């Protein structure tokens, strides 16, 4: 009987419990994975705190990203998936398909094959970050050479994926971090510029970096009052993507900046890509090509054994990490 992670009440990671459960047979359109590694995301923390877009149905599993081997397929699924090494692409409900555990059942549409050069730990750290950044910056934003791109929370796995995408496009990546502690590492990981927003004048620094042009694209998971400064530093006609709410603070709409310079401030989630098969196929091809040739390299901040799942999520919530936290499963 496989071990899974479940929580029975809302709150912090201390509520996460490793429990034994009956093995589940995949239904029509589903597959079952023997899990090797689990990638952690801020979405899961918000989910068990009751702050996510979808409220959990208690008791609830959690988890979006795992890497593993397909060991069973449901009705209507091509049997050639059996035995393949795959990782899961977020875009499903954690209430229905929580993945954190020794076994995970997911829709076959959530599977992504990854280059053989990647380990399972790396494979559990690719789809959420690269598809999220791809959808906003490439599919919608059309990032290109000459662009200036502002990336708040740049030390997150999605932020680092955005840095790699911006560099690959020949654009200039401006990494934002709250203090100077992570600035040098962000520069070493590909940022052209790094701004400590609690210590520096963000608007003035962006004007200096861009020669007064401003940032055409801003890729923000934080929201809150700082959105007004992001808008003040955006270029005329710029796009500000809001794809999260890490600040947990009210987010005022920057009306006068938006009116004065025709800004587009829009909400965005990776489901804009993952729920559309043609767009998802294009995103997967883009990402796999760059993973295979080394242009994209997932940064693993730290790994934890499955038995230390609570500690892994505590580390996630500490905001000390640069890159992805991954749980390894025996």
Same domain (yes/no): 144, 121? no
Task: Tell me if 288 is assigned to some domain.
Answer: no
CATH code of the domain covering residue 7:
3.90.180.10
Same domain (yes/no): 203, 316? no
Give the angle subtended at the CA of 15 by the CAs of 129 and 178, to the nearest 5°: 45
**Within 10 A of 317 (CB to CB), how many other CB atoms are there?**
12
* Beta-strand runs (E) in the chain: 3-7, 16-20, 30-39, 60-61, 65-73, 85-88, 103-107, 111-113, 148-151, 172-177, 193-196, 215-220, 234-242, 264-267, 300-305, 324-328
Same domain (yes/no): 185, 215? yes
Q: What's the total number of domains in the chain?
A: 2
Q: H-helix or E-strand containing 5? A: strand 3-7
* Beta-strand runs (E) in 172-214: 172-177, 193-196
Same domain (yes/no): 168, 98? no
Task: Tell me if 66 is assigned to some domain.
Answer: yes
Same domain (yes/no): 218, 120? no
DSSP designation for 299: P
Same domain (yes/no): 250, 135? yes
Task: Tell me if 165 is assigned to some domain.
Answer: yes
* Best CA proximity match to 92, nearest among 121, 128, 67: 128
Question: pLDDT for 263-288, tens place per residue?
Answer: 999 999 999 999 999 999 999 999 99
Same domain (yes/no): 86, 133? no
Task: Tell me if 290 is assigned to some domain.
Answer: no
Residue 226 to residue 233: CA distance in whole angstroms: 11
Task: Tell me if 279 is assigned to some domain.
Answer: no
Same domain (yes/no): 135, 264? yes
Question: pLDDT for 191-221, tens place per residue?
Answer: 999 999 999 999 999 999 999 999 999 999 9
Same domain (yes/no): 185, 309? no
Q: Could you read off the pLDDT tens digit of each residue along the chain, which spans 330 residues?
A: 999 999 999 999 999 999 999 999 999 999 999 999 999 999 999 999 999 989 999 999 999 999 999 999 999 999 999 999 999 999 899 999 999 999 999 999 999 999 999 999 999 999 999 999 999 999 999 999 999 999 999 999 999 999 999 999 999 999 999 999 999 999 999 999 999 999 999 999 999 999 999 999 999 999 999 999 999 999 999 999 999 999 999 999 999 999 999 999 999 999 999 999 999 999 999 999 999 999 999 999 999 999 999 999 999 999 999 999 999 998
Same domain (yes/no): 91, 170? no
The pTM for the full model equals: 0.95
- Domain residues for 319? 3-126+298-328
């Amino acid at each position: 009987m496989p071990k899974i992670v479940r929580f029975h009440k809302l709150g912090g990671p201390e509520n996460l419990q490793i429990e034994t459960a009956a093995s589940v047979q995949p239904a029509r359109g589903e597959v079952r994975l023997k899990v090797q590694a689990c990638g952690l995301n801020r979405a899961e923390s918000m989910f068990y705190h009751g702050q996510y877009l979808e409220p959990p149905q208690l008791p609830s599993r959690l988890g979006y990203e795992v890497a593993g081997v397909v060991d069973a397929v449901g009705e209507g699924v091509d049997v050639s998936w059996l035995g393949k090494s795959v990782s899961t692409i977020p875009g499903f409900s954690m209430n229905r398909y929580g993945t954190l555990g020794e076994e995970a059942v997911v829709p076959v549409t959530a599977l992504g094959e990854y280059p053989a050069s990647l380990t399972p730990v790396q494979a559990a750290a690719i789809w959420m970050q690269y598809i999220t950044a791809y959808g906003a910056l490439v599919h919608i934003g059309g990032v290109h050479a000459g662009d200036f791109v502002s990336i708040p929370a740049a030390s997150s796995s999605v932020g680092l994926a955005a840095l790699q995408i911006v560099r690959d496009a020949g654009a200039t990546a401006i990494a934002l971090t709250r203090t100077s502690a992570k600035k040098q590492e962000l520069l070493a990981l590909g940022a052209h510029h790094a701004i400590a927003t609690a210590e520096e004048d963000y608007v003035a620094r962006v004007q200096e970096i861009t020669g007064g042009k401003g940032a055409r694209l801003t890729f923000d998971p934080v929201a809150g009052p700082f959105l007004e400064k992001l808008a003040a530093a955006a270029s005329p006609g710029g796009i500000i993507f809001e794809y999260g709410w890490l600040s947990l603070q009210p987010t005022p709409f920057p009306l006068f900046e938006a009116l004065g310079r025709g800004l587009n401030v829009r909400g965005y989630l990776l489901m804009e890509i993952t729920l559309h098969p043609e767009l998802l196929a294009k995103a997967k091809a883009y990402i796999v090509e760059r993973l295979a040739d080394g242009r994209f390299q997932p940064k693993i901040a730290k790994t934890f054994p499955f038995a230390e799942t609570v500690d892994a999520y505590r580390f996630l919530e500490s905001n000390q990490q640069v890159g992805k936290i991954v749980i390894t499963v025996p």
